A and B are shown apart, each in its own frame.
Chain A
Amino acid sequence: MKDNIDFKQYWNKQKIETPAPKELIKKANEFKRKTRFKLIAANLVLLATCMGISFIWFYYQPEFLTTKIGIVLCIIAMLIYLAFHNTLAPLLLNHSLELDTKTQLKQLITLKEKQRFQQTTLLNGYFILLSLGLGLYMYEYVVRMRLPWAIFSYGSVLFWIAINAFYFRPKIIKKQQTQLDKLITQLKDFKAQLTD
């Protein structure tokens, strides 16, 4: 039985085909374009929605203060979402890769824990602001309706809000949390392997 096995000899027997770098550069460019496109698309969609809502304000000239507050709340909700998306998203994509593993893991864990907190808070905030905004915005138009219609209008909006609050919101939060928790556990496991 050998005690001194030459592992390097076996290690280097691995067959390797080096592909042409041209293909790689093409793929890298594609990736860059796609990432940028996604960021721009998210911005455009939400900004267009904000503009659409503002347009209502200027075109229909609502009389009640509640309507205006409602519009402002909806816009604030979307702008906060965008601000988060634009600052944290690139950070998550381009975090320093060239740090040593130990430092990098430490940084990544902090970042992911921050993300876990922010995702939940952000989603809750976004949801509350949007629901409140919508409720206030509707008021002016609902008071002009007859009672059964008013009840029906508010009833259906409240129903929609309730579905979001008690079904979609916890579901999304749970999904995000489970993924992040799994990731953080694994990162911590790697970090534990690196303790002296």
Chain B
Amino acid sequence: MTFEDIHKTYWPKVYRQCIGYINDPDAAKDLTQETFIKVWQQLPKFRNESSIGTWIFRIAVNTCLGQIRKDKKMPKSELPMGLVAEVLEDKEPEMQFLYQCISELPEIERIIIALELEDLKQKEIAKIVGLSEINVRVRIHRIKEKLTKKFQKNER
């Protein structure tokens, strides 16, 4: 697989992963870009020990976890109002609400649910985050419960 193919196939997946984590389109774009810069740099070193997808998601997840640390320096409340308003635009309200709910979860839960929604096998998710498959399954179940409750509350 050439870098161009990888870029084309995985850019949307990684972007969704990042925006699920941070719920801010600009920051997500930067994170996705950072991930692909690392992918491009490390690609010659990639040995087929894991699938290319697992490898890319690992880099994306680690990049995301690296980002929040920088981000905490600037709490959301300090962002100019315009930026927040843009995010809250009323297109696809369910989608917006889902991404918002996910961004309110603890960091590791955000990552796990984003990978699950990206249709990754639980075995692969376990490999990416370093948990057992059973643990991942339990966590996904709990996170989905949390999200369902939030959606039900929102409908009321």
Residues of A that sit less than 8 Å from B by CB = 1-3, 5, 7-8, 10-14, 16, 18-19, 21, 24-25, 27-28, 31-32, 97-105, 182-183, 186-187, 189-190, 193-194, 196
Say yes or no: B16 contacts A14, CB within 8 Å.
yes
Q: Which residues of B25-50 are within 8 A (CB) of A? A: 33, 36-38, 40-42, 46, 50
Say yes or no: B92 contacts A13, CB within 8 Å.
yes
The count of residues in chain B whose C-beta lies closer than 8 Å to any C-beta of chain A is 57
20 cross-chain CB contacts under 8 A? A5-B151, A7-B144, A10-B94, A10-B95, A11-B20, A11-B117, A14-B95, A21-B36, A24-B37, A25-B40, A27-B37, A97-B62, A97-B63, A98-B50, A100-B127, A101-B61, A101-B111, A104-B62, A193-B108, A196-B132
Judge if B21 is at the interface, Cβ distance under 8 Å. Answer: no
List 11 extra interface pairs beyond A187-B69, A189-B107, CB under 8 A. Answer: A2-B155, A8-B117, A13-B94, A16-B15, A16-B16, A99-B58, A100-B128, A183-B69, A186-B69, A193-B109, A196-B131
B residues in contact with A32, CB < 8 Å? 41
Instruction: Return the chain A residue nearest B132 by Cβ.
Output: A196
Question: With A24-B7, A186-B68 known to touch, is A100 a contact of B58 (CB < 8 Å)?
Answer: yes
Say yes or no: B132 contacts A101, CB within 8 Å.
no
Say yes or no: A98 contacts B59, CB within 8 Å.
yes
Say yes or no: A193 contacts B40, CB within 8 Å.
no
Say yes or no: B148 contacts A194, CB within 8 Å.
no
Cα of A158 to Cα of B12 in the assembled complex, Å:
61
Q: Which residues of B68-119 are within 8 A (CB) of A? A: 68-69, 72, 92, 94-95, 97-99, 106-109, 111, 117-119
Say yes or no: A186 contacts B72, CB within 8 Å.
yes
Question: With A14-B16, A24-B7, A98-B55 known to touch, is A7 a contact of B98 (CB < 8 Å)?
Answer: yes
CB distance from B34 to the nearest CB of A (A): 9
Identify B95's interface contact among A13, A186, A196, CB under 8 A.
Answer: A13
Identify A2's interface contact among B72, B107, B151, CB under 8 A.
Answer: B151
Question: With A7-B117, A97-B38, A186-B68 known to touch, is A103 a contact of B92 (CB < 8 Å)?
Answer: no
Say yes or no: B69 contacts A100, CB within 8 Å.
no
Say yes or no: B65 contacts A190, CB within 8 Å.
yes
Q: Which residues of B124-143 are within 8 A (CB) of A? A: 127-132, 135
CB distance from B11 to the nearest CB of A (A): 4
Instruction: Return the chain A residue nearest B94 by Cβ.
Output: A10
Cα of A98 to Cα of B151 in the assembled complex, Å:
35
Identify A101's interface contact among B94, B99, B119, B128, CB under 8 A.
Answer: B128
Cα of A183 to Cα of B11 in the assembled complex, Å:
28
Say yes or no: A100 contacts B130, CB within 8 Å.
yes
B residues in contact with A12, CB < 8 Å? 16
A residues in contact with B97, CB < 8 Å? 10
Instruction: Return the chain B residue nearest A95 by Cβ.
Output: B62
Cα of A119 to Cα of B109 in the assembled complex, Å:
34
Instruction: Return the chain A residue nearest B106 by Cβ.
Output: A193
CB distance from B1 to the nearest CB of A (A): 13
Question: With A8-B119, A16-B11, A28-B37 known to touch, is A101 a contact of B130 (CB < 8 Å)?
Answer: yes
